[in-house]
């Protein structure tokens, strides 16, 4: 990207929306040069802070004319480099200032602008007796726009799924600056082709999501937390598959292996039991039925050799939740290098996946704490290494590829929720070619050409 085009674009955008919204000071550019993946730092050409649709429209009009790349950004918590401006001279479009939230209990939705965080949206709903179910562990910083663009999931996914399950309508702005409204904030409407899904998981490569109307859910009368501790990892996996197979629907069904438990205890100081694995499950519902469901879930864990404890004590429940929520932060503090995986496998293959992961860990001799939303078949193996040791770096990269391959071989996917960014591009392409084939790739490339003919939206991500 030639500096002249960028300079022209910055001046014109400044004229249209106000110079104070355009940042070019080195310290500002530095702050937007990486995301939570921390794999690569690239200094952008400029930052534009969007406060309104008009701001976004102006940026996408000018950038499209001048062929300047635009990287939409929410909280910058992507774990796959999706919000890193990998092409020099890019504009990072910060949506955080667009953060209005309106809860409409009568019609069963919350309207949230792209920059509102997932936690703020959840809290706004809770103040009215409802909640917003998707719950990424990063919910304090992850924004609605970023979560939709990544189709984020989270700890309540076992019952409530991922972001796409909650969208009634959204507004997007595409290159050239046109605003498109898709869907209506009613519980049913005639869809035609589902264009909402086109933008969900698109990682900012097709347009900018500015706001969404999202379904909300009544707060459960009662939540009970069940902890199962296992002396064999595969027994924990068996319990999870079996709980789902019997048709029990816990709100949360999380797995932590021994290496994760040890790191969380050491780094975060939580008191956790000793064991090869822990399963953490929440069940929710009316008081009359919730203890029955808790007993059923607990029963399956016991049948599979688990020692269990069931609690509705708020402090005890909070500690266990925080231990799981903080697992990734603990791992990254404990090890100087971490390659985070995000594979999914069919529930019937969960035990096979855990066994194969354990074999890989032994084969390569690297630490690999595994935790994840296992009730969705979603596992996060964290491959830990010393970045100053060439042999460990090589082994870690090889393991990363093999973990992705094992997921595909078992009928799963290389990413369940963290997306592709640039970190998983190669693995993703291999998965698509081997599973979905060229026809799928061709169709998506055509869609990209229609919406973003000049390729300005987040280049270098997914397969664009
Ligand atoms: C500690 C930790 C825990 C995490 N736990 C989870 C988890 O449990 N579940 C999970 O799914 N993820 C998790 N993540 C990953 C990450 O938080 C999610 O992907 C999140 O949805 C990203 O939101 P964000 O606002 O930070 O997006 P960003 O990182 O800012 O952007 C992510 C992608 O979305 C695009 N984008 C951002 N805003 C928009 C917009 N308005 N319009 C169009 N495109 C946009 C960006 O261009 C980029 O491609 C975790 C991350 C961390 C650091």
Domain ranges of the chain: 3-94, 101-218, 222-409
Distance 77 CA to ligand 1 centre (A): 5
Per-residue pLDDT of 91-122, as tens digits, reads 999 999 999 999 999 999 999 999 999 999 99
The per-residue pLDDT for 47 is: 98
| Three-state SS at 313 | coil
The per-residue pLDDT for 290 is: 96
- Compute the half-sphere exposure of residue 202: CA atoms within 13 Å on the CB side of its CA: 25
CATH of 101-218, one of 3.30.1460.30, 3.30.465.10, 3.30.43.10, 3.30.1320.10: 3.30.465.10
d(CA 277, CA 158): 19
Per-residue pLDDT of 391-433, as tens digits, reads 999 999 999 999 999 999 999 999 999 999 999 998 888 888 8
pTM across the whole model: 0.95
Quote the strand ranges of 231-336, DSSP E. Answer: 252-257, 277-285, 307-311
| Three-state SS at 223 | strand
The per-residue pLDDT for 455 is: 97
Residue 82 CA: nearest ligand 1 atom is 49
Share above pLDDT 70 across residues of the chain, in percent, rounded to a whole number: 99
Query: Residue 253 pLDDT more than 60?
Result: yes
Probe residue for ligand 1, chosen from 37, 71, 138 as the CB with the greatest number of ligand atoms within 8 Å: 138
Residue 210 CA: nearest ligand 1 atom is 41
Q: Is the sign of the CA dihedral 253, 338, 425, 401 positive or negative? A: negative
Residue 458 CA: nearest ligand 1 atom is 47
Probe residue for ligand 1, chosen from 70, 71, 78, 369 as the CB with the greatest number of ligand atoms within 8 Å: 78
d(CA 23, CA 28): 7
Q: In this structure, what DSSP letter does residue 417 have?
A: S
Distance 81 CA to ligand 1 centre (A): 10
Distance 17 CA to ligand 1 centre (A): 26
| Three-state SS at 372 | strand
Distance 140 CA to ligand 1 centre (A): 11
Query: Residue 267 pLDDT more than 60?
Result: yes
Q: Where residue 190 falls among pLDDT bands split at 50, 70, 90?
A: confident
Q: Ligand 1 atom 41: the closest Cα is on which residue?
A: 145
Q: Ligand 1 atom 36: the closest Cα is on which residue?
A: 146
Distance 99 CA to ligand 1 centre (A): 16
Residue 141 CA: nearest ligand 1 atom is 26
Distance 199 CA to ligand 1 centre (A): 14
Section 354-381 average pLDDT: 96
Residue 461 CA: nearest ligand 1 atom is 49
Residue 145 CA: nearest ligand 1 atom is 41
Distance 174 CA to ligand 1 centre (A): 20
Alpha-carbon Rg of the chain, whole angstroms? Answer: 22
Q: Ligand 1 atom 11: the closest Cα is on which residue?
A: 152
Residue 72 CA: nearest ligand 1 atom is 47
Distance 361 CA to ligand 1 centre (A): 28
Residue 117 CA: nearest ligand 1 atom is 25
Distance 151 CA to ligand 1 centre (A): 9
DSSP for 118-164? HHHHHHHHHTTTEE-----TTTTT-BHHHHHHHT---TTHHHH--GG
With 0-12 / 13-18 / 19 or more C-beta atoms within 10 angstroms meaning exposed / middle / buried, residue 4 is: exposed
Q: Among residues 223, 224, 228, 329, which one has the least CA distance to residue 272?
A: 228
Strongest mean pLDDT among 33-42, 302-311, 436-445: 302-311
Q: Among residues 76, 74, 3, which one has the least CA distance to residue 45?
A: 3
Q: Do domains 3-94 and 222-409 have the same CATH topology?
A: no
Query: Residue 3 pLDDT more than 80?
Result: no
Distance 416 CA to ligand 1 centre (A): 13
With 0-12 / 13-18 / 19 or more C-beta atoms within 10 angstroms meaning exposed / middle / buried, residue 305 is: middle
Please tell me the CATH code under which domain 222-409 is placed. Answer: 3.40.462.10
Distance 231 CA to ligand 1 centre (A): 34
Q: Is the sign of the CA dihedral 282, 287, 292, 293 positive or negative? A: negative
Q: Ligand 1 atom 44: the closest Cα is on which residue?
A: 204
Cα–Cα distances in angstroms (integers) from residue 114 to residues 94, 296, 367, in the given order: 10, 40, 37
Q: In this structure, what DSSP letter does residue 434 have?
A: I
Residue 106 CB contacts under 8 Å (≥ 6 apart), including other chains: none
d(CA 316, CA 325): 14
Distance 260 CA to ligand 1 centre (A): 23
CATH of 3-94, one of 3.30.43.10, 3.40.470.10, 3.10.450.350, 3.60.15.10: 3.30.43.10
The per-residue pLDDT for 399 is: 97
Query: Residue 291 pLDDT more than 70?
Result: yes
Section 1-12 average pLDDT: 84
Residue 329 CA: nearest ligand 1 atom is 1
Ligand 1 contacts (CB < 6 A) are 35-36, 71-79, 82-83, 95, 114, 136-138, 141-143, 145-147, 149-150, 152-154, 203-204, 208-209, 328-329, 417-419, 458, 461
Distance 10 CA to ligand 1 centre (A): 26
Q: Ligand 1 atom 5: the closest Cα is on which residue?
A: 137
């Amino acid at each position: 990207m030639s500096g002249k085009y960028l300079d022209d674009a910055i001046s014109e955008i400044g004229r249209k929306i106000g110079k104070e919204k355009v940042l070019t000071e080195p310290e500002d550019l530095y702050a937007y040069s990486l995301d939570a993946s921390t794999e690569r730092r690239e200094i952008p050409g400029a930052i534009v802070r969007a406060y309104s649709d008009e701001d976004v429209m102006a940026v996408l009009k000018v950038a499209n004319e001048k062929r300047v790349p635009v990287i939409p950004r929410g909280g910058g918590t992507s774990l796959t480099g999706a919000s890193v401006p990998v092409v020099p001279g890019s504009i990072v479009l910060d949506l955080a200032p667009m953060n209005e939230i309106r809860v409409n209990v009568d019609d069963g939705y919350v309207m949230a602008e792209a920059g509102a965080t997932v936690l703020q949206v959840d809290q706004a709903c809770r103040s009215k007796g409802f909640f917003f179910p998707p719950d990424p562990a990063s919910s304090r910083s992850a924004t609605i726009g970023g979560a939709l663009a990544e189709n984020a999931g989270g700890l309540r996914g076992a019952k409530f799924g991922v972001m796409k399950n909650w969208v009634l309508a959204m507004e997007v702005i595409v290159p050239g600056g046109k605003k498109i409204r898709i869907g209506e904030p009613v519980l049913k409407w005639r869809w035609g082709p589902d264009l909402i899904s086109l933008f969900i998981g698109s990682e900012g490569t097709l347009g900018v999501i500015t706001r969404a109307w999202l379904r909300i859910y009544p707060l459960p009368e009662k939540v009970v937390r069940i902890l199962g501790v296992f002396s064999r990892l595969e027994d924990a996996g068996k319990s999870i598959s079996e709980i789902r197979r019997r048709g029990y629907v816990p709100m949360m069904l999380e797995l932590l292996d021994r290496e994760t438990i040890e790191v969380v205890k050491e780094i975060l100081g939580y008191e956790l039991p000793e064991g090869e694995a822990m399963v953490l499950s929440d069940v929710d519902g009316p008081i009359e039925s919730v203890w029955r469901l808790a007993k059923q879930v607990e029963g399956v864990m016991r049948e599979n050799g688990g020692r269990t404890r069931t609690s509705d004590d708020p402090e005890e429940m909070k500690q266990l939740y925080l231990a799981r929520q903080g697992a990734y932060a603990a791992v990254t503090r404990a090890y100087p290098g971490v390659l985070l995986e995000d594979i999914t496998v069919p529930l019937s293959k969960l035990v096979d996946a855990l066994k194969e992961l354990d074999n890989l860990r032994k084969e390569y001799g690297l630490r690999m704490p595994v935790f994840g939303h296992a009730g969705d078949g979603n596992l996060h193996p964290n491959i830990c290494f010393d970045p100053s040791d060439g042999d460990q770096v090589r082994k870690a990269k090889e393991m990363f590829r093999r973990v992705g391959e094992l997921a595909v071989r078992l009928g799963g996917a290389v990413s369940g929720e963290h997306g592709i960014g640039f970190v998983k591009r190669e693995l993703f392409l291999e998965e698509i070619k081997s599973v979905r084939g060229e026809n799928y790739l061709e169709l998506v490339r055509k869609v990209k050409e229609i919406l973003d003919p000049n390729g300005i939206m987040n280049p270098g991500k997914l397969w664009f």
